[in-house]
Structure 1
Amino acid sequence: MESTVTFLDAIKTCFSKYAEFNGRASRPEYWYFFLFLVLASLVLGMVSNTASGIFSLVTLIPSVAAATRRLHDTNRSGWLQLLWLVPLIGWIVVIVFLAQEAKEPNQFGSRSDELVS
């Protein structure tokens, strides 16, 4: 069962865990944060390409950390994000991994540990 995470909760959580690559992230947490990154980048891009570029650089580490935690939730290593470097096939594989349900039991800790923090 997925936890109930709101859009704002997901953003707060991902920024509070700015560079934390340990633990797990639920599907809603990751995808709400991803949606925020896309929307903010689009809005900033309409204002200024420089602002959008700076935003992308500032949010690079939190987005990689959130994706690592999301992959951990599916019982996979965060290093699988390197598949982004393989055009098309790698992108599809990573998106499928990020979209899958959580795996229990899990070598990266229990989901209940994440819900407490």
Structure 2
Amino acid sequence: MTFQESILVCFSKYADFTGRASRSEYWWFFLFVFLASLGTSMVHEVLGGLFALATLVPSIAVTARRLHDTNRSGWWQLIYFVPVIGWIVMLVFLTQDSKSESAWTQA
């Protein structure tokens, strides 16, 4: 999946927490959000905050779909609230290869 395709898919599935997201889809979207947040924050702090708010739901949704692709529930995102360890665990989960078909796959 290319950079542009990833952004289009993630915004078209704005609040879709079902299904699966490939590793490339997740990481391209992550790169887009990171770079755009950095750019908008450099222009104006309020603009950066508005962009972060606008991309919050799609970011949570694509992370849930990425976790489904590794055969985990999207609720694993709550581990982010555990300082340091939670972030490390999520990084490991999000970088793993896709697993075989699971209950998260829609027919």
Query: Which of 7, 10, 31 is 2:3 aligned to?
Result: 7
Aligned residues: 107
Offset, 1:107:
1.7
Q: Secondary structure at the match of 2:101?
A: coil
| Structure-1 residue corresponding to 2:58 | 62
Query: Which of 80, 84, 104 is 1:84 aligned to?
Result: 80
Runs of 4+ in structure 1 off by over 6 angstroms are: none
Gaps of 5+ in 1: none
- Which region of structure 1 is more displaced relative to structure 2, 50-59 or 99-108? 99-108
When normalised by structure 2's length, the TM-score is: 0.97
Gaps of 5+ in 2: none
1:99 counterpart letter in structure 2: T
Offset, 1:106:
1.6
1:62 counterpart letter in structure 2: P
Query: Which of 43, 46, 51 is 1:47 aligned to?
Result: 43
Offset, 1:105:
3.1
| Structure-2 residue corresponding to 1:98 | 94
Q: CA RMSD in A?
A: 1.0
Q: Equivalents in 2 of 1:56, 1:25: separation in Å? A: 21
When normalised by structure 1's length, the TM-score is: 0.89
Q: Equivalents in 1 of 2:101, 2:74: separation in Å? A: 17
- Which region of structure 1 is more displaced relative to structure 2, 101-110 or 65-74? 101-110
Q: Equivalents in 1 of 2:88, 2:45: separation in Å? A: 27
